[in-house]
Amino acid sequence: MKRGLRAAAAVTVGLGMIAGGGTAGAAPKDTLELRKATLVAGPPSAPPCTIVPQHPAPGDRYRACGPDGRSVFDLSAAYVATTPRDAKAVRTPSGSWVVEVTLAPGASEAVRRATARLRGSQMAMVHEGRVISAPLVQEPVDGPRLQIGGSFDQKAAVQLATELKG
């Protein structure tokens, strides 16, 4: 499933902890990390991924399974580690499903810088050491909300929104 990330036309702000570089210890359970993702193995012929998440610190680089259970990504150190204020599944006027994530106060600028740097690359959204989404950054997120689009049905969009809320 191809997913894309773009800025949402909305207002509210909301994310918490911003971390750069090598912070000691694993990130708190409700933290969402944004990391550059480089696909190293993937479907259709890839065997099921068996890498177990190790709950790395935001400054650690590591390898992780993709959300499909078959893709494998090399992940950079976290560009941003934060707690989303909200995430919800939304049906667009065209009838497709997207996930809108509302950032915590203070996180918008760090997310804007990270998505500007990663434009044209995959960005992993990591929760508890596990890649829950790895969209292609189509444009920098400039504002307090970001939107993840893809080939979602309602169930998949609701599931991803639930995971993003921690």
Please give the model's pTM, rounded to 2 decimal places: 0.72
β-pair type (130-133, 122-127): antiparallel
The pLDDT value recorded for residue 78 is: 92
Compute the distance between CA of residue 127 and CA of residue 43 in angstroms, rounded to an integer. Answer: 22
Identity (one letter) of the amino acid at 104?
A: A
Compute the distance between CA of residue 88 and CA of residue 146 in angstroms, rounded to an integer. Answer: 11
Compute the distance between CA of residue 44 and CA of residue 46 in angstroms, rounded to an integer. Answer: 6
Positions in the chain whose pLDDT score sits under 50: 1-3, 6-28
The pLDDT value recorded for residue 93 is: 94
The pLDDT value recorded for residue 10 is: 26
The pLDDT value recorded for residue 27 is: 46
β-pair type (4-7, 145-152): antiparallel
